Structure 1
Amino acid sequence: MSVAAREGVLNSFKDDFGTRVILISLKAGGVALNLTVASHIYLMDPWWNPAAEYQAIDRAHRLGQHKPIRAVRFVVRNTVEERILRLQDKKRLVFEGTVGGDIGSLSQLSEDDLRFLFQN
């Protein structure tokens, strides 16, 4: 999508009361957006790095937000998505357990992590 088209869609979502939904990929939604008009966030594609999800949700938690925000994560049972959530928990514990928090533990996907995600 061109920059102009993206701006048009975002302006429509912000200013047109008839536009009630905007679909944004997790990675695109986590960067350089201010979506304080949003009040509901639905995560359909969990990411192995929990910080990516937090960052996307934070697009609605900005200065000027006056409504409560509801974030819902959809996960299908017995799929790789469940393993992604467990991997997020593992990465979060490693991050919290290091002195000062090692951001590298969140931002890298190791060979062991890949084995964990795709084990039988």
Structure 2
Amino acid sequence: RKFLILSAITRLKQICNHPAQFLKSGPWTISRSGKFEALRDIAQTIHENSERVIVFTQFAQIIPALDELLHSVFKAPGATIDGSTPAKQRMQTVEAFQAGKLPYLVLSLKAAGVGLNLTEARNVIHFDRWWNPAVENQASDRAYRIGQRNDVTVYKFVAADTIEEVISRMLSGKQQLADQVINDLDSENLGELSAEALLQAIQWRGLN
């Protein structure tokens, strides 16, 4: 039951990112995803301001598409880091970013949990929301390390009128419930949701 619940919610979250991610085929056309359009527009402003950005996602399979989009906006290559990135390459990438040689980084959320100092980033984008707000905050803190001298703007993308908005409201407005129910993908409580609670989350009925 827990596997089925997680599988259904994960599929819905993939659709929120881009239909091509869920279908595992088709073009990653910007116009097919409101999140891709938002990322393009925000990245364009960041580029015009000569700033740098780090983008986090929980889905490693979408990283190449995000990299391609950002490359087209910044007119220069950035870099990516995920769980398969060797430690030496990871540190070389961080050093290049800190030295101003890379305009952007795209990172998987879990790969960015420890050991990264990205104080040259003025902007942080969470392309999709993680179940646990503490994990998101830990990722954002990559830019808030000792040595940061500037303000950092953090964006969290949420697809309107979808389960993402339900999860976002639970995370921000009902912290206790988030801790009990969706604090971690391995949570024992996640599979204990009633059928009624699941339907309320998956079948969009608007937020009261």
TM superposition score category, shorter chain reference = 0.7 to 0.9
Q: Is the 8 A contact 2:163 2:202 kept in 1?
A: no
Equivalent residue letter for 2:93: V
Structure 1 SS opposite 2:198: helix
> Larger radius of gyration, structure 1 or 2?
2
**1:115 Cα shift?**
2.4
Q: Percent identity?
A: 32
Instruction: Give runs of aligned pairs for residues 72-91 of structure 1, distance below 5 A.
Output: 72-89=155-172
Among 20, 24, 35, which residue is 2:107 paired with? 24
Change (3 A) 1:68 1:110: same
**Runs of 4+, deviation exceeding 6 Å:** none
Question: Is the Cα contact below 8 Å between 1:49 and 1:91 reproduced in 2?
Answer: no
Q: TM-score, normalised by structure 1?
A: 0.76
TM-score, length basis structure 2? 0.47
Aligned pair 1:2/2:86, yes or no?
Answer: yes
- 1:47-86 mapped onto 2 (5 Å cutoff): 47-86=130-169
Would you tell me which structure has more helix in proportion to its own residues?
2
> What is the aligned-residue RMSD (CA, Å)?
2.5
User: What runs of 5+ residues in structure 2 fail to find an aligned partner?
Assistant: 1-84, 204-208
Specify whether residues 18 and 73 from structure 1 end up closer, same or farther in structure 2 by C-alpha distance, changes over 3 A only. Answer: same
Q: Does 1:110 align with 2:190?
A: yes
Secondary structure class of the residue paired with 2:106? coil
Letter of the structure 1 residue corresponding to residue 190 of structure 2: S
How many residue pairs match? The answer is: 111
1:33 and 2:113 matched: no
Task: Please list the CA deviations of residues 1-21 of structure 1 after superposition, one character each: whole Å capped at 9, or x if unmatched.
Answer: 111211121111111x23110
CA separation of 1:26 and 1:115: change in aligned 2, threshold 3 A: same
- Structure-2 change in CA distance of 1:39 and 1:71 (3 Å): same
Q: Deviations over 1:69-107 (max 9, x none)?
A: 100111111222212212313652358xxxxxxxx6434
